[in-house]
Amino acid sequence: MSNEKVLVEIKDLKKYFPVNKGLFGKAHSYVKAVDGISFTINKGETLGLVGESGCGKTTCGRTIIKLYEPTFGQIIYDGHDLSKLSQKQMLPYRKKIQMIFQDPYASLNSRMTVGDIVGESIDIHGVYKGKDRMVKIQELLRTVGLSSEHSSRYPHEFSGGQRQRIGIARSLAVQPEFIVCDEPISALDVSIQAQIINMLEELQENMGLTYLFIAHDLSMVKHISNRIGVMYLGKMVEIGKSEEVYGHSMHPYTKALLSAIPIPDPEEAALRKRIMLKGEIPSPIDPPPGCRFKGRCQYAKPICSKVDPELKNLGSDHFVACHLY
């Protein structure tokens, strides 16, 4: 990978959820939501993580910040392994690592004022008190394009875009270094999506933030990401610099995702051939051996049913997991 400073290193991360529990609560099988993925995120960069719903991208984000305990693997943050830390030992890292949630309607407590929502983590970490606390909250609201008077209002008084701004102000309250943005624009109107992306980019530049930006389609991560990772059924199938993944995608699944992005120019759109994926996504409960994409892949060959392809560097830090390469 590159020589830039690595802030987050994920090594063979797995998150399995038990299902079909038997008589004594022993699980008979597991949903393998994240099944052995490895990647790094450099300080100050944005890694976009994409894939269809159910591919494990949100579970991956939540496991990295330890909302879920990992089943296996390491989460190295700034040289420290977080994977085995207790929730109490995680407290110093909770300040540095924050999350912006997908649904700005559900993620804000409707009974709390905006000031208290934004101030919640300030109180948990005790970073500002009394008058300084209120000054900080008002400053944060202005930073995200709201006004200081908004602090006494309640979430239902705001539009979707404004609520997401409140969620972003909350995540910034304790001066984080790394933010997991879990589909932060999916629930918003297209016109508002661009505003939120621009704001996240400005904040990144001004505050030196590092992002893991999760989205379900490649068009959403295109402008904000330095690198992009594509997940399919708990596995990383392709990862590389944005221009590489967009311009020279290699994995058949990435190619299909790219072909589904709408093109505004009708003439250009008419020339493009959409790759229609056939077949069902297999169940993530004890998936069969081999490549998990084989049932939907037009290039599948016998080895694809037997051997799980490894992520290989094909040059320029462009990694692909496919037997075609």
Q: Residues interacting with ligand SF4, by CB under 6 A?
A: 252, 291, 293-294, 297, 299-300, 304, 309, 322-324
Find tokens 């990383």 and name the residue: 236
Could you give the CA distance from residue 249 to residue 182 in angstroms, rounded to a whole number? 24
CB of 170 to ligand SF4, least distance (A): 40
Could you give the CA distance from residue 95 to residue 92 in angstroms, rounded to a whole number? 6
Which segments within the chain are labelled E, that is strand?
A: 6-21, 27-42, 46-50, 72-77, 80-81, 97-100, 178-182, 210-215, 227-232, 235-241, 312-313, 319-320
- The residue among 161 and 309 lying less far from ligand SF4, judged by its C-beta, is 309
Q: Exposed, middle or buried, 110 (CB in 10 Å: 0-12/13-18/19+)?
A: exposed
Could you give the CA distance from residue 277 to residue 281 in angstroms, rounded to a whole number? 10
Q: Which of 157, 212, 145 is nearest to 182 (CA)?
A: 212
CB of 297 to ligand SF4, least distance (A): 3
- The residue among 1 and 324 lying less far from ligand SF4, judged by its C-beta, is 324
- The residue among 213 and 293 lying less far from ligand SF4, judged by its C-beta, is 293
The answer to whether 279 and 267 are in contact (CB under 8 A) is no
- The residue among 265 and 280 lying less far from ligand SF4, judged by its C-beta, is 280
CB of 309 to ligand SF4, least distance (A): 5
- The residue among 294 and 318 lying less far from ligand SF4, judged by its C-beta, is 294
CB of 273 to ligand SF4, least distance (A): 18
CB of 31 to ligand SF4, least distance (A): 21
